[in-house]
Amino acid sequence: MANIPYKIYLEESEMPRQWYNVRADMKKKPAPLLNPGTGQPCTADELKHVFCDELVAQELNETDRFIDIPDEIRSFYKMYRPSPLVRAYCLEKKLGTPAKIYYKFEGNNTSGSHKLNSAIAQAYYAKKQGLKGVTTETGAGQWGTALSMACSYFDLDCKVYMVKVSYEQKPFRREVMRTYGASVTPSPSNTTEVGKRILAEFPNTGGSLGCAISEAVEAATTTEGYRYVLGSVLSQVLLHQSVIGMETKAAMDKYGIKPDIIIGCAGGGSNLGGLISPFMGEKLRGEADYRFIAVEPASCPSFTRGKYAYDFCDTGKVCPLQKMYTLGSGFMPSPNHAGGLRYHGMSAILSELYDQGLMEARSVEQTSVFEAAQMFARVEGTLPAPESSHAIRAAIDEALRCKETGEEKTILFGLTGTGYFDMYAYAAYNDGTMTDYIPTDEEIAASLANLPNIG
Amino acid sequence: MANIPYKIYLEESEMPRQWYNVRADMKKKPAPLLNPGTGQPCTADELKHVFCDELVAQELNETDRFIDIPDEIRSFYKMYRPSPLVRAYCLEKKLGTPAKIYYKFEGNNTSGSHKLNSAIAQAYYAKKQGLKGVTTETGAGQWGTALSMACSYFDLDCKVYMVKVSYEQKPFRREVMRTYGASVTPSPSNTTEVGKRILAEFPNTGGSLGCAISEAVEAATTTEGYRYVLGSVLSQVLLHQSVIGMETKAAMDKYGIKPDIIIGCAGGGSNLGGLISPFMGEKLRGEADYRFIAVEPASCPSFTRGKYAYDFCDTGKVCPLQKMYTLGSGFMPSPNHAGGLRYHGMSAILSELYDQGLMEARSVEQTSVFEAAQMFARVEGTLPAPESSHAIRAAIDEALRCKETGEEKTILFGLTGTGYFDMYAYAAYNDGTMTDYIPTDEEIAASLANLPNIG
């Protein structure tokens, strides 16, 4: 085996030319999206009111194993990709583990995360369709930032509905979006009917992601030349994010490295799904075996304590129904939760893979996540996003297990992004004021009691 | 010539093993540091009260052309270096210029800038000397963050005196420093005699960099096992930063690229000096010719409107005297100045090179700097630091000149860092409230009237 450098960069010529569609290798496919009105599978025509035509086709495509990455998207990828596959020599030394730890680092771009991989694809297809612009929602602003960058590149309008409390208290990502030319509207707003209704009823509300989604969907479907875009959960997003796993596998193959355990944080599943896709494909085809571990917050435990059932993708209940691991569309993580990954549901693809026993999941508490984040920052240099730090926590735990058993396992995890816009959460950890919260069985049962009566 | 990729990364094995000391190739050397008490050149023993022994040796070394980079520092460099040399294809296209534009991007690390290159070296030598820790000052926190990361890696104490108004109004970098284990004290503070004196006289002051330097130097020289470290201006810092230029030259040589114009922003000169060093060496030895352009803010124009004279390096007047281009140690840029590069003086090496006519300088106004920053962010993806954007402005101007003349010049500039912690300044630009200020001749003359009467 060649000497492994700290950072493995593929050559530009070695970058993936296709996305990998893991559904093609799944014998049992994810359940279809349902129209909430009829209870029947959504047709392409129904979805085209909300999403771009080509993205609808990708959303419904369960058979093509590979889909070409258009040249325009590959050109954009070349500005910030390939992302490095890093050997965590310093973390290994700090832990005193015989395990070999690698991470795929997606944070070296201004959006600060992997979200850009799908944002640029979605913006490209919108432009190709001749649309004027796209709408979306954002909470703290990671996805909104990525979409703003992508729309700026293709000269598309970008309307972002940002949860009002984030808009006011976390102005930095808002300003990044404005620098990229996006219009950022605090939600709820007077620009939509649903926003007006909510403001009339709750004039002092700080907003919610559910409300912002409803406004963004309304704005897209009532404005000529606009469509709505979403940064996670959807199968099209996992398809685009497969570039993470494709690059990782190419880099590992180049150096003859085979991971034993592959770990990713899981909110809606876009990073985890993207990272594991090509490896999962090998497992599905019986060519190789890997352990996959999804890591989620104990305060929002969709996989580990949710139910596999049809549910709404949004709290506003305007989107199609999806079969997934869910805590109920009304579930809200405790206000003390600072670690991101707040989504009540999960990617349909990952839900099905988990249900088939092809993947493990575990939940971790946020103080232990920030403990891992701080250790990682100090020894590996990069200050990680709270979301990514869930994967770091699990990777450290697995490496410490190897230390006990003496096994020289190879651990790979996804470092999805940086925490530069999350310093309030780090401040709480530094000050010792961060606390944990685990929802009670009663809370989860109450939320699950409101699932739609389908499937 | 080979096809040029968007990003050129050297292999780990191609990374520089030595720093380059440009003073070795200068026939006329920079003027020596002077002891402010005696007016005589500082001896090594005098400097060793303030700085680590080995760094004093580097500061005074004018003869060794190359100095080995210790293995421990090279290991740390491998975590975030080599930094990419980027071909700005998208910017070229946007400008419609026949010029070829390259930038060396130093922002892909958690400190967000090139400062880490010298921080890790200074921390290493402090550790090697068996010291307990180091002290420094920081304004917005770029240098403090870099030093915190470096000290964390070598398990050294790191005491940062942070200008109080920044400590209170810009808490994010403060929290990054704390995450890396540094103690961060708002300055002026009651922890030093000079701080107490200032607080007694001005109880409500927001502090200043000059005051923070004085506190940091006092803390270092009165605490057993501590020394003071500085992030720019000094010749040792330019030596460490030569890693930027060495990598750039190696990457360009690999692809047969020869720059015509090399551009860098200039505050204290650490990035500019580091980037141009090996190219300047060729020019000094008569092996090649290049145009070098230092770009500084119109509101703090040391090169373009300052005087080449001995002056204090700090407003507190506790440090040695240095011969340099200076606006006077009491000069303060106008409060509306948001673009960084606020230092009143300049590296002694760069000052001497400029005085010999080997380098050009120009000043630019901040609204035009942010205009360039926004354009760059939108087409090249990366949101640049305000400091770096001075170089972007000049590179764009040179590229537009090529468009007029039809010349296919190759332009190289240093992109020193990212602007993720500078979003207040971007917000002012986005809101249209940013203004320019050019100091009057009378203001500059008044400040220069207080130069020490030496040399």
Residue of A nearest to B106 (CA): A108
| CB-based contact B381 A109, cutoff 8 Å | yes
Residue of B nearest to A89 (CA): B79
DSSP string for residues in A92-126: HHHHT-SSEEEEEE---STT-BTTHHHHHHHHHHH
Using 70 as the pLDDT threshold, list the residues of chain A that sit under it. 1-2, 316, 455
Can you tell me the distance from the alpha carbon of A254 to that of A256, in angstroms, rounded to the nearest whole number? 6
Most confident among A206-210, B4-8, B198-202 (mean pLDDT): B4-8
Parse chain B into domains and list their residue ranges.
7-14+70-112+235-448, 21-66+115-228
What average pLDDT is seen over chain B? 95
How confident is the model over B397-422, as a mean pLDDT? Answer: 97
| pLDDT tens per residue across span B424-433 | 999 999 999 9
Domain A21-66+115-228 class in CATH: alpha beta
Is residue B198 pLDDT above 60, yes or no? yes
| pLDDT tens per residue across span A41-89 | 999 999 999 999 999 999 999 999 999 999 999 999 999 999 999 999 9
Would you say B388 and B414 are in contact if contact means Cβ atoms under 8 Å apart? Answer: yes
Residues in chain A whose beta carbon is closer than 8 A to a beta carbon of chain B? 5-7, 9, 11-12, 76, 78-80, 90, 108-110, 112, 149, 152-153, 171-172, 175-176, 178-181, 374, 377-383, 418, 420-421, 423-424, 426-427, 429-430
Is residue B94 pLDDT above 50, yes or no? yes
Full-model pTM: 0.96
Min CA distance, A140 vs chain B (Å)? Answer: 14
Would you say A142 and A112 are in contact if contact means Cβ atoms under 8 Å apart? Answer: yes
Is residue B249 pLDDT above 70, yes or no? yes
Query: In the structure encoding, which two tokens stand for residue A53, read together?
Result: 């035509």
Give the number of beta-carbon pairs within 8 Å between A and B: 116
| CB-based contact B420 A420, cutoff 8 Å | yes
Can you tell me the distance from the alpha carbon of B241 to that of B189, in angstroms, rounded to the nearest whole number? 32
Would you say A145 and B423 are in contact if contact means Cβ atoms under 8 Å apart? Answer: no
Is residue B1 pLDDT above 70, yes or no? no
Contacts of A377 in chain B (CB under 8 A): 110, 179-180
How confident is the model over B403-431, as a mean pLDDT? Answer: 96
| CB-based contact A149 B9, cutoff 8 Å | no
Can you tell me the distance from the alpha carbon of B227 to that of B216, in angstroms, rounded to the nearest whole number? 9
Q: A7-14+70-112+235-448 adopts what CATH topology?
A: Rossmann fold (3.40.50)
How confident is the model over B395-413, as a mean pLDDT? Answer: 98
| CB-based contact B381 A110, cutoff 8 Å | yes
Confidence of residue B34 (pLDDT cuts 50, 70, 90): very high
| CB-based contact B374 A179, cutoff 8 Å | yes
| pLDDT tens per residue across span B151-171 | 999 999 999 999 898 898 888
For helices B235-254 and B53-60, give the axis angle rounded to 10 degrees. 70
Min CA distance, B287 vs chain A (Å)? Answer: 32
Would you say A450 and A312 are in contact if contact means Cβ atoms under 8 Å apart? Answer: no
Q: In which region does residue A195 sit, left (phi positive, over 0), alpha (psi from -120 to 50) or beta (all else)?
A: alpha
Residue of B nearest to A429 (CA): B179
Strands A157-163 and A183-187: parallel
First vs last Cα of chain B: how many Å apart?
A: 51
Give B97's Cβ-side CA count (13 Å radius). Answer: 26
Tell me if domain B7-14+70-112+235-448 and domain B21-66+115-228 are identical in fold: yes
Contacts of B152 in chain A (CB under 8 A): 378
Can you tell me the distance from the alpha carbon of B59 to that of A431, in angstroms, rounded to the nearest whole number? 39
ipTM confidence score: 0.94
| CB-based contact B110 A176, cutoff 8 Å | no
Q: Burial code of B92-123, b = ≥16 C-beta within 10 A, e = fewer?
A: bebbebebbbbbbbbbbbbbbbbbbbbbbbbb
